[in-house]
Structures are given as structure tokens and as C-alpha cells.
Amino acid sequence: MCMKLHEAIENYIHYISVIDQKALTTITNYKNDLTQYETYMTSRNFCDVEAIAYKEIEAFIQEQALSKKTNSINRMIVSIRNFHFYVTYNFPSIANPAMHVKLSKKANKLPSFLNESDLDMFIGSFDDKKDVDLYQHAIIEVMYGCGLRVSEVCNLQMNQLHLQQGIIKAIGKGNKERLIPINQHAIDCLQLYFDGPRVLWNTKKLQYVFINQRGNRLTRQYVHTMIKKKLTELDLQDAISAHSFRHSFATHLLNGGADLRSVQELLGHSDISTTQIYTHIQSDRLKQEYLHAMNKKKR
């Protein structure tokens, strides 16, 4: 009995959505990757899972590598490997052709972040007397002050805030919850926003923390566009993105003496190796300070 590739992929997407309950973003990524995989295979008459061999998968990956970045390729490889593992686990008679497909090597790129003076300039540029500026200011204070992902800020709800206790509950990837302290600057800014524009704008009585002028929930696109516009106004580096505020949060904590394990918990990283990238930033900074000091001595 042959298993159709299309049917097998549909079953797998159902499994990760309903049984495994992966995050919505993860499900979307897997679905997109496997749709491209299916299109490639069926166009070459590999319509049954059993017909696909290692060399076909390698050919697909090589073709994708012509137009995609390493991160996207590696995510696609993970999608394919997990799919074939699922099929073989449930149907042992079907071999796993993706078992030995290896991830592409990538450069250990350091994340971009704002130094403390640039961050102060960015945050200080908002005029809290203007409703839109106050709204944007509150978004940045929470995103940086708690090290949140953009999606976590957009999905933040009122019952996740415990401002009297100085804590918020973030819900991250895989619906994992974590408690994060929130600083007084962010609390004060939120209170001004709650007492002002949010009261006027929340005509639909939504429970999301950040409501825009149309009464809708904050979107990721708005955050990215707002930050890029502000960077241009202030003539700050183009490499900074919305995610850079999360990187800045982690970097400034480590520079202030926080230990790596605590930063890992605050960021919601499941693996500390993900958090260790920030130690490279510290090493680079210390190296620059050392070279600067030695050069001054030579003069």
C-alpha cells in the first residue's frame, strides 16, 4: 500500500496542530515548508512518500539554497526531517529518507542591539503629551524593559499585568509562561496610557493591553514600521530592528552583572546555548575597551 505525500503532510499538520499543539507560528512555518516540498516532489512525479529517497531531498535543498538564506534552509530541513520521522514512526515499513540530511553551517552572527545612550535617546524622543507618542512609548518601555518578543507584546492581555506587584506574565513560544519583573518607568508609562488614549481608543472593549486608534489590537507590522521610522528620525543605525530591543535587554542585564541562567529564564529560552550568544557581545565589548586603554598608554 502506497502513502500519498499530500495525505501524509495533511495528517502531519493535523498532528502538530491538534495533538502536539505547537505554536501557531511554528505550524504556519511547517505548513509553508512542506507545501514547497510537496510541490517540488510532485512536479518530479514523486507523489508517494515511499518513492522519495535521500538524493531527492538533497536536490530539493540545493535548489532552495539558490534563493533562500541559511536560517530559512535549516528551518526547512527541520520541517522535512520531523515530517519523515513522524511517517516512519507511525508506519515502520516506510523508510526515513531524511534521517541523514544535515543542517547547513551558518555564521555565528551577533544580534544587533542599542547601547545605553542610543536607547536613552530613542525612548526620550517620545512626547507623552501626544496620544500616539504615549502609545508608542509604552510599547517600547514594555518591550525593552521586559525583554519581550514582538508577538508577546502584541498578544499581551490585561490579566497578564500585575503592576502593583511589579510583575507581568509573558506567554512565549509553545504557550510557555514566565514571570518577568517590570520596572517603574514602564509602569508609570503604562498608567498614563491606560488613563489616556486606551480609554478613548478601546471602543470594542478588547482585553489586549495595546489597542490602536481604530480600536484594534497592536500588530507586528505597526511595531516594525514605527521603530524604523523613529530610527530614521534620530539618525540611528539601520541594523536595529524591533527584536533588537530584546537583545538590548539581555545585553544590558549581563553588563550589569546578571548571571546567564537568570537571563535565560527572563528571555524564555529553553536552551541556555541560545542565551550564550550574548556572552560574545560582552567579549567583544571588553576587547574593544582593552584595546582602547592600551592605545591610550602607547600615546
CA angle 108, 112, 115 (to 5 degrees): 135
Question: 6 an active-site residue?
Answer: no
Question: 193 an active-site residue?
Answer: no
Question: 220 an active-site residue?
Answer: no
- Residue 225 CA to residue 290 CA, distance in Å, equals 37
**Cell numbers 518601555 correspond to what residue?**
141
What φ, ψ does residue 70 adopt, rounded to 5°?
A: -60, -40
Q: What is the CA radius of gyration of the chain?
A: 23
For residue 235, the tally of other CB atoms under 10 A from its CB is 7
Residue 135 corresponds to which cell in the numbers above?
A: 502609545
Residue 296 corresponds to which cell in the numbers above?
A: 591610550
The DSSP bridge partners found for residue 180 are: 168
- Residue 134 CA to residue 128 CA, distance in Å, equals 4
- Residue 287 CA to residue 53 CA, distance in Å, equals 49
In terms of residues, how long is the chain?
299
Judge contact between 154 and 242, C-beta under 8 A: no
CA angle 143, 149, 154 (to 5 degrees): 75
Question: 278 an active-site residue?
Answer: yes
Question: 130 an active-site residue?
Answer: no
Active-site option among 6, 68, 173, 224 = 173
Strands 161-162 and 167-171 turn out to be antiparallel
Active-site option among 178, 224, 228, 243 = 243
- Give the DSSP letter of residue 20: S
Judge contact between 80 and 98, C-beta under 8 A: yes
Question: 269 an active-site residue?
Answer: yes
Active-site option among 22, 198, 217, 269 = 269
85: helix, coil or strand?
helix
Active-site option among 149, 217, 247, 252 = 149
Active site residues: 149, 173, 243, 246, 269, 278
